Copies of this chain bind each other. A is one copy, B any other.
Amino acid sequence: MAILDPADIDKDLSVGEVAERSGVAVSTIHFYESKGLITSWRSSGNQRRFPRDVLRRIAVIKVAQRLGVPLATIAEALKTLPDGRTPTAEDWKRLSAAWKADLDERIAVLTRLRDGLEDCIGCGCLSLGECPLRNPWDELSEDGPGPRLLDPRR
């Protein structure tokens, strides 16, 4: 039943079918369900059955992940949808606009960093007081532990 029979066109999907059609591993689908990102009901034989819109949900999840949004945040966002419905075009607009702001910020941070690096490549100053690359976080160390203006992970 890997091939889609026209008669089944609007039937719910098994976990294997979802995996095949969404491109994510079965274990990942279990995992997403455990995190509340998607939901399913069970067949008589205790197998998961997913409404077809799970595919759209997974699409949203995957795009958000490419944007660098952590799963927990995605889960939050999906929970803000009234009655837990699958995101409509309108919802997507709202969510993606918020995520775009994040992305813009991330790009801006990296760009500033690159520009600092550019200036710095020639000088090798790393140990001097003026190095723009060091200064934000390597101030004279008198003011307590870890300045960390920006998340150092991004």
Contact = CB atoms under 8 A, between A and B. Distances in A.
Nearest to A147: B23
A128 to B, nearest CB: 10
This chain's copy number in the assembly = 2
Contacts of A96: 117, 120-121
Interface string A103-115: 1101100110110
Contacts of A25: 145
A6 interface: no
Contact of A23 (B21, B121, B146): B146
Nearest to A89: B124
Interface string A75-90: 0000000000001111
